[in-house]
Amino acid sequence: MLAFDDAGSGRPIVWIHGFPHASAIFEPQIAIPGYRHIRVDLPGFGASPPPRNELGMRDYSHEILEVLDHLGVDRCILAGISMGGYILMQILRDAPERIDGVIVIDTRERADSDQGREDRYKTIAEIEKNGTEPIVDSMLPKMILSDLRRPDFRKIMLTASSAGMIAAQRAMAGRPDSTATLRALKLPALVIVGDRDPITSVEDARRMRSLIKGSKLVIIENAAHASNFDQPDAFNRAVTEFLGMRFGSN
Ligand code: MLT
């Protein structure tokens, strides 16, 4: 089973990290009061063992549902950043009856372009040749603008294994388009994006907001791709306001 962290009490929120992150990137969100925060490490990231087989989006989804079963959590709010957002959309297809609401963070619903897929295979070749560190260092400035927070984020990124990173790149290359999934969504939804996210843009976020009926969009100022870690106070305020509006005092 995946490694996980379970903190706080109240309605559960399951936080799904991106690439190449770990559950530790959601440390600042544990401060959001009145909720049970469940954070998972995806296979080969953080404290979860590397995968032994090739994985698809559905495998990541099933691994997370397995953690929920283990914890006896029937229903939850799902929050996913970037690759975590791709997995969130897969869970919406696999187990919609278990989801009360979604927070989609710096992500997109579209599948990769041909160029995007080609770039992933170059990333895989680079990891196979030189390990994870060069990729971590090339991605870090795209993740975090804050000089203060970059070193901590880098440390988290360096907990990713080569096998975990390669499996994730392959799975993302093969992921389906989730446009229809978002269009059919009838749950409370918050879309969040950093205004300076160079990986998934404000335009991507606006498009997702227009696909999800009744959803709310918040653009976090002075934040790159990992907006939750780059600007944790503004991010937590946005989430707290959304939760209060859609789920009341819990
Ligand atoms: C992520 O942060 O999960 C990745 O940058 C997403 C991607 O490569 O599409």
Instruction: Give the pLDDT of residue 248.
Output: 87
- The H-or-E segment that residue 41 falls in is none
CA dihedral 131, 150, 140, 195 (to 10 degrees): 160
d(CA 9, CA 55): 32
Q: How far is the CA of 249 from the centre of ligand 1 (A)?
A: 33
Q: 215-237 pLDDT, tens per residue?
A: 999 999 999 999 999 999 999 99
In this prediction the pTM is 0.98
Q: 144-197 pLDDT, tens per residue?
A: 999 999 999 999 999 999 999 999 999 999 999 999 999 999 999 999 999 999
Instruction: Give the pLDDT of residue 184.
Output: 98
Q: How far is the CA of 250 from the centre of ligand 1 (A)?
A: 32
Q: How far is the CA of 75 from the centre of ligand 1 (A)?
A: 26
E-assigned strand segments in 89-146: 99-105
Q: Measuring CA to CA, which residue among 132, 137, 102, 116 is closest to residue 200?
A: 116
Q: 83-131 pLDDT, tens per residue?
A: 999 999 999 999 999 999 999 999 999 999 999 999 999 999 999 999 9
Q: How far is the CA of 105 from the centre of ligand 1 (A)?
A: 11
Give the angle subtended at the CA of 88 by the CAs of 143 and 61, to the nearest 5°.
115
Q: Which atom of ligand 1 is nearest to the CA of 84?
A: 3
Cβ–ligand 1 distance for 189 under 6 Å, the answer: no
Cβ–ligand 1 distance for 19 under 6 Å, the answer: yes
Cβ–ligand 1 distance for 83 under 6 Å, the answer: yes
Query: CA quadruple 206, 210, 211, 217: dihedral positive or negative?
Result: positive
Q: How far is the CA of 248 from the centre of ligand 1 (A)?
A: 32
Is pLDDT at 250 greater than 90 in this prediction? no
Q: What is the mean pLDDT of the chain?
A: 97
Pocket test for ligand 1, best of 172, 193, 228, 230 (most atoms within 8 A of CB): 172
Cβ–ligand 1 distance for 18 under 6 Å, the answer: yes
Cβ–ligand 1 distance for 172 under 6 Å, the answer: yes
Q: Which atom of ligand 1 is nearest to the CA of 172?
A: 9
Instruction: Give the pLDDT of residue 249.
Output: 64
Give the angle subtended at the CA of 60 by the CAs of 31 and 185, to the nearest 5°.
75
